[in-house]
């Protein structure tokens, strides 16, 4: 394993840990507990954390662990996005067109979810998929 590969894996491991901390804090801050939210959130936080630990503890498994954690995060991100988009579709169905404010709300929510929970894991899959193919 080259040193550049190791460096990239470690950068992803740290970034994954940061995402896990943000999600854990957000989940902890929720005012009520509901398994439908807690379970996927806990699975995502756990998956990201375990993968990060494996990168440092078992470098041989790093590529596989980061690929799986990227899939977990992507699944969670798409689930979150689906809920947001369906909520917006419901409200559009009820209220009809609701102007620029509604579009802004939608864009804001999207901007909070898409880069970190959809684009980031897709980038991870791109990087580690290519590395898996080349090895």
Q: Which is nearer to another protein, 31 or 60 (CB)?
A: 31
Which residue, 57 or 111, has its beta carbon nearer to another protein?
A: 111
Are residues 60 and 75 in contact, defined by beta-carbon separation less than 8 angstroms?
Answer: no
Considering the complex, what minimum distance in angstroms separates the CB of residue 124 from another protein? 10
What is the smallest separation between the CB atom of 44 and another protein, expressed in angstroms? 17
The nearest distance, CB 61 to another protein, in angstroms, is: 17
8 A C-beta contact, residue 86 and residue 51: no
> What residues make contact with another protein under the rule CB under 8 A?
30-32, 34, 74, 78, 81-82, 85-86, 88-99, 101-102, 105, 118, 122, 125-126, 129-130, 133
Beta carbons within 10 angstroms of residue 22's beta carbon? 12
53 versus 125: smaller Cβ distance to another protein: 125
16 to each of 86, 87, 91, 108, 124, how far by Cα in Å? 27, 28, 34, 23, 10
The DSSP output letter for 59 is G
């Amino acid at each position: 394993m080259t040193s550049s590969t190791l460096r990239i894996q470690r950068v992803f491991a740290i970034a994954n840990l940061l995402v896990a901390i943000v999600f854990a804090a957000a989940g902890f801050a929720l005012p009520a507990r509901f398994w439908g939210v807690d379970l996927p959130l806990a699975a995502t936080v756990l998956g990201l954390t375990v993968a990060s630990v494996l990168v440092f503890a078992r470098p041989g498994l790093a590529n596989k662990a980061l690929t799986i954690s990227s899939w977990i995060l992507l699944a969670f991100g798409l689930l979150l996005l689906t809920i947001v988009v369906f909520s917006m579709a419901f409200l559009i169905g009820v209220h009809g067109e609701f102007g620029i404010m509604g579009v802004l709300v939608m864009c804001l929510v999207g901007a909070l979810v898409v880069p970190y929970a959809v684009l980031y894991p897709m980038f991870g899959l791109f990087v580690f998929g290519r590395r898996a193919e080349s090895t």
